[in-house]
Every structure is written in structure tokens, then in C-alpha cells.
Structure 1
């Protein structure tokens, strides 16, 4: 799933490609992906791209005051094409294409564009056309951005106290609490902080709080810096190659050499290092424990 660093890198890449260029048309290939109807998709036709920004994990293309907002969900992605087909994209259940943004550039012989795609059968990609990004419910309820200057250690302390005994893993990845962190980077942050994912949010002492705050800022900041300047086609590989524990079940922890473990968590799974994070003790897989009773 694309998270804050990947979406930020996409924003930087697309800003350089799109700002100052006109949108010729937007073809919708997956009708279920479009979540709004007013203004219509055609309101983007003939507009000029003014900026590309990010709201948490939402990507926002501002075109003459009309916003094309995209949430890539679990398996969505954006691919730049130097030349798109002349015929409009058509619905096709076997094709991962959800929508195509066609760019009008009179200086080019070919017509470039963006393909918004989603792999797999579990569809969650969402496209919104709005006059104000705050009209998108997911954006309106976002928590603070962890890389914003306003996200201070005190802000984090207040968040953790407000969430009480909730497990810190779930708190970090809840978008209405902290924007942009998902399953992968919450694993990476907690590994960097040497903290159990099941630790209660309000149980951190002052040293723990400082360690977690630094881990959040450095883990996300380093990922953004590594991704900066990369084309969209390179971002997935860059992310995977730099993860310490997430998606590395059974492999050696790059810090201590212990075996990375996995447990079920909410609607997914988490990975962690017992030596680095839980005093050497494996965490119980609570979902499995329920099945065995």
C-alpha cells in the first residue's frame, strides 16, 4: 500500500510533469472508483494544472480550481505514459486500468498521460472530483501530518494520552489520529524505536516518547529523501529494498540478526523483531489463539 513517503514522491514527480500543462480529458475505466458526481469528471477537461499536493495518503491534482483527488488504497498506483492510446479507455474487468488522465501538450508529437491502476480483485481505489479537497470525507477527518512542522513532541504526547490503552501500532496507522502512516511504516517506526507494537499508547515515559517521536520523523523523513527524484516506476522497489522488518517474516533482522516474526493484527499482519522490540519474547498471535480455543 502506498503510504506517506511514496505518495509524497509521486507528488514531486507529477508536479514536475503536470504543472502548467492542460488536461485534455479524463477517461474512466472503472466506474466504481469514482466517488463523486458534482462537479462531473468532464469539469476537468480543458483545465490547466496549477499544482500537485498531498493530504496524508491522498494525492491532489489542482486544475484551474477543480481538484482531482486520488486515494490509491491497497493496490493502486499511478503510471506516467509518454504516449497514451488515441482511443479513450474503455471499461474492462480484466484490465487494472481505473482511469486515464490525458495531457494536451502542443509542443509534443505524442499525447502523454497518467494511467491510474489497481491490481487484484479487492478494489478500494477511490477518485474524487471536488472544488475543495475538504469535501472529501477522508481528508476532512485526517489527523496531523507527522512531517509537518506543527507535529511536535507535545502534539504526539497529547495524542497518545488521548488514546489511552489502545495498542500503539493501531494508533500510529489510524488516519484520523496521525495522517499518512500505514501498516508498513508503523512496523518500521516501532522497530526503529525498539518498541512493542502492542505497547499501550498512554504507557510511554518521557524517554519512550522522545524515542518514538524521533523514530517517526526520521523513518518517514529518510524514506521521503530516498524517494525524492525517483520516477513513479522506481518507487515500489525503493520502498521494499529499505524495509527492516515489514514484509520480511523469517528473515534476519538487519540490526541484531534475530528472526523477524509475524502476528495477525486487525485486518492485516505486522512484522517485528523480538530481540529489538519485545525483550526476546515472541508475541502471541491473538487471532490464532482464538481459533484454537
Structure 2
């Protein structure tokens, strides 16, 4: 799933490639991706892109016409969605309802016929596209917590946020209403950098532990953003994978201590961690498997 660093890189890429250009066609292929109907998707056609913003994991493409603010095309790539840029789009128009990963195509006023496709792999279709007058009209944006890289989000604000949370820290970091943009992969990376068990209760962290976690979080996310800066959209997935130290690396040696990276089930997915770095050398109990075996 694209998380804050990848979506921030897409925002930067699209800012360079979209702003000032006009949307000529917005063509839905898989109609289930459209989550709003007023304004219609066609409302962005004929309008210039005035800016591209990021809200957590959401991309926000703003349009304008004759200096007047127009509708926003808001995209959430979900677990298996992606944005594919084309300097020249295929000449044949996409077939609505056709098989394959293509969900939506946006064409620009470009002599070469440039634009981008939104695609989604797999059977669970969660890619979401909204056309709204203001981004806050998207429910997922309206309930977002603070952005971890916002300069106004201080260590003190983070500690205060954790103080009221009686959940495990792994779940807190992933909760978009608590923190905007951190998902399963980077929460694993942050906790590894902080040398903290994912099962620690957030409210029980000491002031020093909360400060250390804040430092690990901001450093991990900033490093990932820097690694992705300037990359073409098609290279971002590979860059994310290459930069991960524990997530998705079950059975491999920890790059810090050499211990074997372990995996346990967590909520609707799994997490990876290093026992030596994070849990005093003790493997975590896989609680979902334990329940299944009872």
C-alpha cells in the first residue's frame, strides 16, 4: 500500500507534470472506483490543474477555470492501487467495464497525448476516486489526524496524543484518525528504528520513550521521502521495497544486529520485527493463530 512517503513523491511528481495543464478527458473504466456523483467526474474536464496536495494517503488534484476554483479530483490508492504516468496515452480509448487492472484514465491537453491511468490489482477493489468542491468533503480526509511531518506537530503534541491511547502502539501508528499517512510498512520500520515492541501499550510509554519514538518516526519518514524525491512514478514501488529494513523481510537477518526477522499476525495483516532489537530477544505470540487453535 502506498503510504506517506510514496504519496508525497507522487504529489511532487504530479505537481511537475500536471500544474498548468488542462484535463481534456476523465474516463472511468471501473465505475466502482467513483465514490461521488455530484459534481460528476466530467466536471474536471476543460479545467486547468491549479495544484496538487497530499492529505495523509490521499492525493488532491485541484482544478480552476478563469481564476475561479473548480472541483478537486481526490484519489486514495488503497492497498493495491497505483498511478501510471504516460507521456503518450494509448490511442485506443479504454473500454468501460473491461477486464484488467485499469480503473480510470485522465487525458491532458498535450500534443503527445499525455496523461495518467489509475490501476488496481487483485480481487479486493478499494481504489477510491472522489470529485468534490472541497477536499474536506471526503470522509476519510475529514477525520484525518495530524500529519507526522507537519512542523506544527511537535514531540509534545505526539506525547499528548499517545497519553490517551490504551491500545498497542502498532495499531495507534496505523490509525489514520490518530496520525495521517503511516501504514503497515512504515509503522514496522518506525518501531524497529525506535527499538520498541509493537505490542507496547501507547499510554504506558514514558516521556523518554515517546520522545524516542517521535524521533524515529520523523527520521524514518523523512529519509523515505528523500529517497523517493525526484523519482518517476513507476520507480516508487521498487524504491520503497529496497529501503525497508524489517517489513516484508521475514526470515532474513536484521541489518542492525543480524538476528532473524520474525512475523506475527496483526489485525487484518501481519507485522515484522526483530526480537533482539525490539523485544529483548523474545518472539512475540501470534495471538490470532492462538485463537484459531483453541
Flag whether TM exceeds 0.5 (same fold): yes
Corresponding residue of 2:142: 140
Corresponding residue of 1:8: 8
Q: Which residue among 104, 108, 128 is the counterpart of 2:130? A: 128
Q: Give the secondary structure class of the aligned counterpart of 2:74.
A: strand
Which whole-Å CA distance do the structure 1 matches of 2:202 and 2:127 have between them?
30
Which whole-Å CA distance do the structure 2 matches of 1:139 and 1:191 have between them?
28
Which whole-Å CA distance do the structure 1 matches of 2:75 and 2:93 have between them?
20
Which whole-Å CA distance do the structure 1 matches of 2:56 and 2:197 have between them?
25
Corresponding residue of 1:181: 182
**1:191 and 2:196 aligned:** no
Deviation at 1:150, TM superposition (A): 1.1
Which whole-Å CA distance do the structure 1 matches of 2:92 and 2:41 have between them?
18
**1:71 and 2:76 aligned:** yes
Which whole-Å CA distance do the structure 2 matches of 1:181 and 1:142 have between them?
11
Corresponding residue of 1:225: 226
Which whole-Å CA distance do the structure 2 matches of 1:95 and 1:26 have between them?
18
Deviation at 1:292, TM superposition (A): 1.5
Deviation at 1:224, TM superposition (A): 0.3
Which 4+ residue blocks in structure 1 deviate beyond 6 angstroms?
A: none
Which whole-Å CA distance do the structure 1 matches of 2:292 and 2:133 have between them?
48
Corresponding residue of 2:37: 37
- Kindly report which structure 2 residues correspond to 1:244-263, keeping only aligned pairs within 5 A, or say none: 244-263=245-264
Q: Deviations over 1:84-125 (max 9, x none)?
A: 1334322245210110000012xx3x2001000001111100
Structure 2 gap ranges (5+): 65-69
TM-score by length of 2: 0.97
Structure 1 gap ranges (5+): none
Which whole-Å CA distance do the structure 1 matches of 2:207 and 2:15 have between them?
40
Which whole-Å CA distance do the structure 1 matches of 2:279 and 2:99 have between them?
44
Which whole-Å CA distance do the structure 2 matches of 1:292 and 1:86 have between them?
55
**1:95 and 2:100 aligned:** yes
RMSD of the TM alignment (CA)? 0.8
